[in-house]
Structure 1
Amino acid sequence: MNNSITKNFSLKEVLGNLSDYYELTKPGITLTVVSSMMIGFLMGSAGSVNFVNMIHAIVGTYLIAAGTAAHNMFLERDLDGIMKRTSKRPIPANRLEPWQGLFFSMGLILFGLVYLLFMVNIVAGMVSLATTVIYLYAYTPLKRISALNVFVGAIPGALPVVGGWAAATGTVFEHGMWILFGVVYCWQIPHVMAIAWVCKDDYEHAGFKMLPKNDPHGLKASLWIIVPLLILIPTVYKLYVMELVSWLYLGGSLLTTLGYLYYGIRFIISRDKAAAKSLMLASFVYLPLIWIFIFTDWMIL
């Protein structure tokens, strides 16, 4: 009887720990990273996809992206404990010890890097390493220093498409790849700014500087939002001009970008939490739709 109770308790504890470790990897963000990498891989393949290589790229990218997310939770564990929306994460909630987060995250990063280097190619591995380093050691500490972290953080956010292209081609010197990078980079700035506005009280309480300094009426924030949105229009169009995609992508992407711009303009007019929330939700939808248009274009044409 006692042995049965002990076994059940231990199993429950183990399953709970597995769930906590999985939560450390920020599954939603990691999925976005892998999806972006796959789009870069498909476009870099130019119609001739090496599916075995793509699977290796998916595995390696997942491992290093999951490790990077987990290490971010390790680094920001004390600040996460201060904010309402992050206080229940595994480490600040004391479901995992900090050393567990450290070893778990570093193990994933190192294994993912080695996997990419040996199973894909050196260039793809180096792009993923650069993504991790910039995210953890430039963007993460800068969040407590200056709102310019938004522009720095958009770099590792956009690099997965470069990693995918590099995995398919072994190079980072093709123009189309950097146009694709530009699409993700410009998408991410309004996305982060909208989240920062919605969560500004929580961020300020934890000491994160996610919004422009001395901007009580949101005029600087509005500029930071509208400029990338306007740049997005010619950027998504450029992929069509370069003949990397067809009219099928062009029509859908332009309409989607104009919709994203619409919500950006609504924020500029109102500059309140409701408008920021609408922009945030639009940003969540935007990138998946762009990837769907590219993938559909690749499948059909």
Structure 2
Amino acid sequence: MQVLWPQTNTLWGRVQDYIQLTKPRIILLLLITTTGAVWLASQGEPDMDILLTTLVTGTWAAGSANTINCLYDRDIDQIMVRTQRRPIPAGRIRPGQALGFAVVLAVAAFGLQTWRVNVLSALLEWAGILVYVLVYTHWLKRSSPQNIVIGGAAGAIPPLVGWAAVTGELSACAWILFAIIFIWTPPHFWALALMIREDYAQVGVPMLPVVAGSEQTAQQILLYTLLLIPTSLLLVYPCGVVGGLYALMALTLGGIFLYKVFQLFAQPEEVKLARSVFKYSIIYLMLLSLGMGLDRWPLMHTWQNVLVQKAVHWWG
């Protein structure tokens, strides 16, 4: 039985409903990783027209994918308490309206990115939409506990978009950025799944905690986190696009991440620990992306060179 919430009667209310369909909090994290890739590919001196255009079209493309996800999942969103107030299950936006909105966003993203930047980055944005909609939402989400692992490739595409926007190609370093997000995704989403396991069980979505239990999920989170730390350092060597500042931040952030995951591993049924891992995983990715930007910032390079020269003089 559909629960109908009060209709939105104002223009701003309607705008808010459509914004809610795009899941803006998820998009923000995607834009941060895109910015990090643009910053690295441009060696700390990005073309602002390329950066801003890519962020705008990335917002539209991700918003399109998220809207289609909301459209496809409206049946289970109607059942879960935490999602019943979303615009489609609440009856504030009709499915046809949502689909039209998603199509407009996808077409606009491709057109503007192709015109202002390049076709490769535009095609990659569309690849992100297709992977999220077809591979994750349609194929894997309701059929496999590995849905997040494979479907997580969609969230790892934005750094490829950022790199391609600057260089017009995809180097090995771009794929390392992809790998970082790809490996980060399971610990992030499985921690969330541990928090809301009952919701997923209620609607028959086979998230790993539902199928395998909390203990095995915590083990998998630990394994992926252990893999994430050395993967993040590949940007230092052999890629060489970042230096000591990023390496220090990556090791520090990774160490804190690992500490929190070990706590969860010791008490996998403790929801507060799962929530701590989930929240920190967001902070980790944001600060890691910031570390990339700071490391490539020309002024930061000047400071580092001065410090190195002073250290050499002191110890010499």
Regarding TM over 0.5, the answer is yes
The corresponding residue for 2:273 is 275
AA of the residue aligned to 1:240: V
For the 8 Å contact 2:190–2:209, the answer to whether it is kept is: no
Measure how far apart 1:207 and its partner are. 1.7
For the 8 Å contact 2:155–2:181, the answer to whether it is kept is: yes
The corresponding residue for 2:158 is 160
Moved more, 93-102 or 41-50: 41-50
AA of the residue aligned to 1:103: G
For the 8 Å contact 1:128–1:163, the answer to whether it is kept is: yes
Q: How does 1:212-223 map to 2 (within 5 A)?
A: 214-216=211-213, 218-223=214-219
AA of the residue aligned to 2:222: I
- Partners of 2:49 and 2:273 lie apart in 1 by 44
The corresponding residue for 1:3 is none
The corresponding residue for 1:143 is 141
Q: How does 1:261-272 map to 2 (within 5 A)?
A: 261-272=258-269
AA of the residue aligned to 2:22: T
CA deviation map 1:227-267 (0-9, x unaligned): 21111121122212232112111111111111111111111
Q: State which of 93, 96, 102 in structure 2 corresponds to 1:96.
A: 93
AA of the residue aligned to 1:41: V
- Does residue 110 (structure 1) correspond to residue 100 (structure 2)? The answer is no
Measure how far apart 1:83 and its partner are. 0.9
The corresponding residue for 1:123 is 120
AA of the residue aligned to 2:279: L
CA deviation map 1:163-194 (0-9, x unaligned): 1001111111x111111111111111100000
For the 8 Å contact 1:71–1:106, the answer to whether it is kept is: no
Measure how far apart 1:13 and its partner are. 2.0
Q: State which of 175, 186, 189 in structure 1 corresponds to 2:186.
A: 189
The corresponding residue for 1:55 is 52
AA of the residue aligned to 1:295: G
- Partners of 2:244 and 2:278 lie apart in 1 by 28
1:82 alignment partner, SS class: coil
The corresponding residue for 2:242 is 245
AA of the residue aligned to 1:165: W
- Partners of 1:198 and 1:176 lie apart in 2 by 34
CA deviation map 1:115-148 (0-9, x unaligned): 2122211110111111110100110121111111
- Does residue 236 (structure 1) correspond to residue 259 (structure 2)? The answer is no
- Partners of 2:206 and 2:131 lie apart in 1 by 18
Q: How does 1:196-207 map to 2 (within 5 A)?
A: 196-207=193-204
Instruction: Provide runs of 4+ in structure 1 moved above 6 Å.
Output: none
For the 8 Å contact 2:20–2:86, the answer to whether it is kept is: yes
The corresponding residue for 1:32 is 29
* Percent of residue pairs bearing the same amino acid type: 30
For the 8 Å contact 1:198–1:277, the answer to whether it is kept is: yes
Measure how far apart 1:275 and its partner are. 2.1
- Partners of 1:123 and 1:29 lie apart in 2 by 23
- Partners of 1:180 and 1:104 lie apart in 2 by 30
The corresponding residue for 1:6 is none
For the 8 Å contact 2:197–2:209, the answer to whether it is kept is: no
AA of the residue aligned to 1:238: L
The corresponding residue for 1:43 is 40
In the superposition, the TM-score normalised over structure 1's length comes to 0.91
The corresponding residue for 1:224 is 220
Q: How does 1:64-75 map to 2 (within 5 A)?
A: 64-75=61-72
- Partners of 1:92 and 1:47 lie apart in 2 by 44
- Partners of 1:214 and 1:26 lie apart in 2 by 27
Q: Which runs of 5+ in 1 are unaligned?
A: 1-10
- Partners of 1:50 and 1:278 lie apart in 2 by 37
For the 8 Å contact 2:110–2:126, the answer to whether it is kept is: yes
Q: What is the count of residue pairs matched by the alignment?
A: 290
The corresponding residue for 2:306 is none
- Partners of 2:74 and 2:210 lie apart in 1 by 25
AA of the residue aligned to 1:274: K
Measure how far apart 1:52 and its partner are. 1.6
2:106 alignment partner, SS class: helix
AA of the residue aligned to 1:53: I
Measure how far apart 1:284 and its partner are. 2.1
